[in-house]
């Protein structure tokens, strides 16, 4: 549309400044990496719902969303569960890790995640993979995620959205991915998660 179109109103500078300052009003935001996975119900819709719910969290901004990958379930006999859709979301947040964990659990609950069995099927899995450079062995939230550095379904999408990423205490994500390999992690180019507007 041309700028002479009377229906197009310029965005006031004050609004632009507010949007640009959104990261600043998150005073001293921290970077966090969140892994999403779903193998029950409408998997893509659920992943998008989780991305939107993260963006709706006060004190949190979604900065990047990876492509969607399809993977075999972890830790179970092949063919006993549906495949997963996986993605990684990069966020900036002023929430401390414990509050971010609570928010992740609340999102899982909203999508009726059931925790009956280890490695059981799930509507949604929301895992904090890394929070800034924090290394912590708190039993409630171990940071970085204790097994993510061995899991291609986390490393592949993370490497997509941040090729320079460092896995706290373990080196670069791309080097870890090189060690682990990409077997069983298929990109679904036909599917897309939208960044919240």
CA dihedral over 166, 19, 34, 78, signed as positive or negative: negative
Out of 43, 61, 103, 122, pick the active-site residue.
122
3-class DSSP state of 125: strand
Q: What is the rounded CA–CA span in Å between residue 84 and residue 86?
A: 6
Q: What is the rounded CA–CA span in Å between residue 197 and residue 45?
A: 17
How many alpha carbons fall within 13 Å on the CB side of residue 163? 1
Out of 125, 160, 170, 188, pick the active-site residue.
125
Out of 43, 61, 103, 127, pick the active-site residue.
127
| Helical segments of the chain, H only | 13-20, 22-25, 43-55, 97-110, 152-161, 173-180
Mark whether 122 is an active-site residue.
yes
Name the helix (H) or strand (E) containing 62.
strand 60-65
Tokens of 27: 């005073």
CB 36 within 8 A of CB 125: yes
CB 66 within 8 A of CB 91: no
Q: Which residues are catalytic?
A: 113, 122, 125, 127
């Amino acid at each position: 549309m041309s700028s002479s179109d009377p229906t197009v109103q310029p965005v006031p500078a004050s609004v632009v400044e507010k949007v640009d300052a959104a990261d600043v009003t998150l005073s001293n935001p921290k970077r966090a990496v969140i892994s999403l996975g779903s193998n029950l119900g409408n998997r893509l819709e659920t992943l998008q719902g989780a991305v939107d719910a993260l963006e709706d969290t006060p004190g949190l901004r979604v900065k990047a969303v990876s492509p969607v990958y399809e993977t075999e379930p972890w830790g179970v006999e092949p063919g006993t569960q549906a495949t997963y859709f996986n993605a990684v979301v990069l966020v900036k947040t002023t929430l401390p890790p414990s509050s971010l964990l609570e928010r992740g659990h609340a999102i899982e609950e909203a999508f009726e995640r059931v925790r009956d069995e280890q490695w059981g099927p799930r509507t949604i899995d929301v895992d904090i993979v890394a929070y800034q450079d924090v290394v912590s062995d708190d039993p409630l939230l171990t940071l970085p995620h204790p097994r993510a550095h061995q899991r291609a379904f986390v490393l592949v999408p993370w490497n997509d959205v941040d090729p320079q990423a460092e896995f706290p205490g373990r080196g670069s994500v791309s080097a870890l991915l090189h060690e682990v390999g990409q077997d069983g992690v298929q990109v679904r180019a036909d599917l897309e998660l939208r960044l919240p507007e």
